[in-house]
Amino acid sequence: MTRNAESLRAFFDVSPAVALVEVAEAKGSTPREAGTKMLVSPDAIFGTIGGGQLEFMAIDKAREMLAEALLPPPCGEGGPEGRVGVAQNGANPLPPQPRSASQIEPPRKGEGIVLDIPLGPEIGQCCGGRVNLSISVVDDPLRQNLIEEARIEDARSPHIYVFGGGHVGHALASAFSLLPVHVIVVETRAEALEGMPESTETRLTPMPEEMVREAPAGAAFVVLTHDHALDFLIVAEALKRDDAAYVGMIGSKTKKATFRSWYLKTANGTEDAFARLVSPIGGDAVKDKRPAVIAAMAAAEIMMALAKKA
């Protein structure tokens, strides 16, 4: 199972009673767009509809709904659990017992609520827009639908291939681990792949350029191996992909010039293709060359390139 789907299933496993909050309609300036979802349990949340007073109000209402759903049914309903009964010795009545999530009646059609919330001084926000929120208790079929939606969303995540597991490669993998992307770190050295973030896919191969050919359309390629000659081979292969969202190579202006000469004279490259190469990655506006700083600047650059390709 993919990353978001795994996280969602883990949330459901520890949160048997959950309410779904969804932005049904967004007008004007709003924190999140229509279709954004957040899940609320009695003691946790998964996702966000934008934070602030809007989200606080939604969480409060969702938990009110959950509390009502978990209340025991009226006396005489629902069997031995969840009702006032008589102890086996006939002495004292048993106190009402809250129902477990498995005993909650699934919400019937139309049982959810819709909140129409202006994002103005009325609630202490100044966005200026207006949001309709739909809130409903999650039943088992909806749980499965939400997990499947997460799986499909994961499968559609942009692919980023990081060639090289050195200091900057590790820093890039860490930076991307918080973002909605699928990262594959490609290396020729097994030890360089150790310690990668759990969400990062790793590939060990003696011919990393083959990974370029196998990549899906719209992928991003960032090249920063331990070997300049290997960098050149991978970049040349990546520049053959007209459908690539981004092709970047770490290095100096001198390295880029050396690559250009080799690419045009030896690799049958063209000026038009070379013009698509981003090098150095992350730009040169920030002079700090520590790996984490380079990774932060490059990650932002790559995310912008992916957004333009989407």
pLDDT digits (tens, 9 = 90+) for 80-93: 444 444 344 444 44
Largest CA distance in the chain: 97
Segments of the chain assigned E as strands: 19-27, 37-40, 45-47, 85-86, 93-94, 113-118, 130-137, 159-163, 182-187, 201-204, 220-223, 246-249, 277-278
Q: How confident is the model at residue 177 (pLDDT cuts 50, 70, 90)?
A: very high
Reported as a single tens digit per residue, the pLDDT across 230-275 is 999 999 999 999 999 999 999 999 999 999 999 999 999 999 999 9
- Provide the 10 A C-beta neighbour count for residue 227: 11
Its CATH class, for the domain covering 158-309, is alpha beta
Per-residue pLDDT for 101 more than 80? no
Reported as a single tens digit per residue, the pLDDT across 12-71 is 999 989 999 999 999 998 889 999 999 999 999 999 999 888 999 999 999 999 998 877
Identity of the amino acid at 25: E
CA-nearest of 244, 224, 241 to 306 is 244
Look up the pTM and report it.
Answer: 0.78
Task: Look up residue 87 and give its two tokens.
Answer: 């102890």
Peptide bond before 280: cis, by omega within 30 degrees of 0? Answer: yes
Q: Which segments of the chain belong to CATH 3.40.50.720?
A: 158-309
Measured CA to CA in angstroms, residue 190 lies from 72, 142, 193, 195 at distances of 57, 42, 6, 11
CA distance 55 to 63: 12
Average of per-residue pLDDT across 152-181 = 95
